[in-house]
Each structure stands twice: as structure tokens, then as C-alpha cells.
């Protein structure tokens, strides 16, 4: 593992010169605050969701669909979905930053944003459909 | 050389040839302590909670799609394996929430010295176990009872 590997120079500039001054990207604080704010938002929303699940667990399709179609429930649900996946996006990005190095770093970060974004969007679209349009029921 | 941090590993021999300096041991030289375990588990449960939330969104999508797909989702959540996954999701959410609350306390500048962190760790474990088990058992139990009750009612009518 510690066998001498001759490092390759891509540029004329010394490696230390390339690394110096890269200590801060000058955007870390915003990311940190975003993580905390979304976490704080999730606390009451998750509490609400737990209460709703106690009321709803094991209920029939009609009851659950009716529940999701109510404006207040739909608002809370979409707020929960948006904050959940925003918080997930912000948190998973830090994990990628810490553990995924080299060529895979940028694709992994992009993948995290893509997947969490799509999942959040799917949740919101599902809630909107429940709230705004009657699902296609055969009955 | 892909990562600029690698640049800091470059050293040179006395004859001028460049070498990659060895990395000192770090993780493996420390005994695992509760604070370390709770720190890394906060990340792991965050990932697990995200995976569970993805399934939650799938449940919402099934609900929005219609009665047929909701019935399929119900079959999955009623299956013992589905119940186990649901319990795991609840547990990782509780775990990650407790970890997050501790972070809020530390961010406020409270209880972040070594002594307090070591005192609060076991308390956090207790809260996670207590709230996690209670919530999982209560939620899954209530849902199961209600589903059975409805099924019986439907059969009777």
C-alpha cells in the first residue's frame, strides 16, 4: 500500500501550490444553515405525520385517499416531502464529499441531487393528484 | 492525481524523485467509543431514513394512482418483511432525530465538552431505544388491529 508511487504532474504548478488556498469554498455556511433549518422544519412536520399515521394506519383506500385530498393535509404532506428530500439532499451531499473521492465525486454528487430531487417531485405530484384530481377509480 | 488533497501526500526523496508519503494510521488506532458510534450511526440512520422515505413516496404514489396499486402497496406493508422494513424506518428516523436534536444542543453551545458528551451518550441510547420501540410497536400494532377490524367488518356485512 505504501509502495512508492511516482505521482504524476498534470500541470507545471507544484502540487502544494495547487492545494493551497483551497481551504474554503466560501459557501459552506449556507449549506450548514440549510441543513439545520430543514431539520428544524422537519420536527413539527414529522410530529404531525406520526399523529396522522396513528389515526390512519390500517384504514381503507377510500379513507386514506379522502385524507390526502383535504387541503390542509395535502399542504402538510407536500411540505413534509419537500423538506425531507431537501434535507436528504443536503445531508447526502456531505456524505459524498467526505467519502467519495476522485473521478466518482462529481457524478455521485450529481446523482444524489438528481435522485432526491426526483423523489421529492414524485411525492409532491402524488399529493397534488390526491388533492386536485380524483384518482381514476372504477367504482 | 484527481484530488487536490492528494497533493499534500507528495514528498520527495533526497535524490529528488517524488514519492507518495504514507498515511498515518487514524481510525484503527482508536478503541470504538460510544461517541464515535453515535456519530457515525447518525449518518447511517440518515441514509436509512432517506431510503425509507423513498418507499414512503412510493406509497403516496400508489395511493394517488388508485385503489388497485394501493392494494398492492398494502400487501407489501402487511407482509412480515414489509413490517420489518417499516419498523426499521421508524427506528432510523427516531435515531436520526435524536442525533439531530443533540446537534442542535451542541450548536447552541451547550453540553459540547467531553464530560457532557460522554454523559449524554447513554441517555441518547436510552431515548432512542425507548421511543423507537414504543413508536414502532404502537404504530404497527394500531395499524394491524384496525386493518383486522375492518376486514372482519367487511366479512360480516
Distance in Å, alpha carbon of B119 to nearest chain A alpha carbon = 24
> Is there a contact between A19 and B2 if contact means CB atoms under 8 Å apart?
no
Question: Is pLDDT above 80 for A14?
Answer: no
- At A7 the pLDDT is 59
Q: Which domain holds residue B76?
A: 31-156
pLDDT for A84: 98
Give the pLDDT band of residue B1 (cuts 50, 70, 90).
very low
In a domain, B17, yes or no: no
Q: For the segment A45-102, what is each residue's pLDDT rounded down to a tens digit?
A: 999 999 999 999 888 999 999 999 999 999 999 999 999 999 999 999 999 999 988 7
pLDDT at position A139: 46
The domains of chain A, with CATH numbers, are 28-132 (1.20.1300.10)
Q: How many domains does chain B have?
A: 1
Instruction: For B28-45, write each residue's pLDDT tens digit.
Output: 888 899 999 999 999 999
Has residue B81 been placed in a domain? yes
**Interface A-B: count of C-beta contacts within 8 A:** 144
Which one of A2, A16, A43 has the shortest CB-CB distance to B22?
A: A2
Return phi, psi of residue B26, to 5°: -130, -65
Give domain status of residue B50, yes or no.
yes
pLDDT for B156 equals: 83
* CA-derived radius of gyration, chain B: 24
Residues in chain A: 139
CB-CB under 8 Å, B3 with A101: yes
CATH of the domain at B121: 1.20.1300.10
Say which of A8, A127, A138 has its CB closest to residue B60. A127
CA dihedral B6, A93, B25, B28 (to 10 degrees): -160
Long-range pairs for A4-13: beta carbons < 8 A, 24 or more residues apart: A4/B19, A4/B20, A5/B19, A5/B20, A6/B17, A6/B18, A6/B19, A7/B1, A7/B6, A7/B9, A7/B10, A7/B18, A7/B19, A7/B20, A8/B1, A9/B1, A10/B1
Candidates A6, A8, A18, A58, partner chain B, best to mutate (most B CBs within 10 A): A58
Residue B14 belongs to some domain of the structure: no
> A46 to chain B nearest CA, in Å?
9
Amino acid at each position: 500500500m505504501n509502495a512508492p508511487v511516482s505521482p504524476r504532474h498534470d500541470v507545471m504548478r507544484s502540487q502544494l501550490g495547487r492545494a493551497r488556498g483551497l481551504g474554503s469554498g466560501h459557501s459552506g455556511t449556507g449549506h450548514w444553515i440549510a441543513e439545520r433549518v430543514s431539520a428544524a422544519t422537519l420536527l413539527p412536520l414529522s410530529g404531525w405525520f406520526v399523529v396522522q399515521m396513528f389515526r390512519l394506519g390500517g384504514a381503507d383506500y377510500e379513507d386514506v385517499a379522502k385524507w390526502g385530498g383535504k387541503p390542509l393535509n395535502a399542504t402538510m404532506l407536500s411540505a413534509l416531502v419537500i423538506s425531507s428530500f431537501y434535507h436528504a439532499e443536503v445531508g447526502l451531499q456531505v456524505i459524498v464529499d467526505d467519502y467519495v473521492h476522485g473521478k466518482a465525486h462529481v457524478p455521485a454528487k450529481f446523482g444524489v441531487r438528481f435522485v432526491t430531487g426526483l423523489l421529492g417531485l414524485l411525492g409532491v405530484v402524488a399529493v397534488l393528484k390526491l388533492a386536485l384530481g380524483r384518482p381514476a377509480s372504477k367504482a | 492525481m484527481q484530488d487536490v488533497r492528494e497533493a499534500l501526500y507528495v514528498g520527495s526523496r533526497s535524490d529528488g524523485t517524488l514519492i507518495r508519503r504514507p498515511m498515518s494510521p487514524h481510525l484503527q488506532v482508536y478503541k470504538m467509543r460510544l461517541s464515535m458510534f453515535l456519530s457515525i450511526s447518525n449518518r447511517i440512520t440518515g441514509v436509512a431514513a432517506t431510503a425509507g422515505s423513498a418507499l414512503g413516496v412510493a406509497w403516496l404514489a400508489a395511493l394517488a394512482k388508485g385503489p388497485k396499486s394501493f392494494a398492492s402497496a398494502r400487501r407489501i406493508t402487511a407482509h412480515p418483511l414489509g413490517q420489518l422494513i417499516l419498523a426499521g424506518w421508524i427506528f432510523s428516523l427516531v435515531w436520526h432525530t435524536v442525533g439531530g436534536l443533540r446537534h442542535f444542543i451542541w450548536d447552541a453551545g451547550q453540553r459540547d465538552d467531553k464530560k457532557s458528551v460522554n454523559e449524554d451518550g447513554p441517555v441518547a441510547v436510552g431515548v432512542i431505544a425507548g421511543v423507537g420501540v414504543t413508536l414502532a410497536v404502537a404504530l404497527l400494532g394500531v395499524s394491524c388491529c384496525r386493518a383486522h377490524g375492518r376486514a372482519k367488518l367487511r366479512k360480516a356485512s
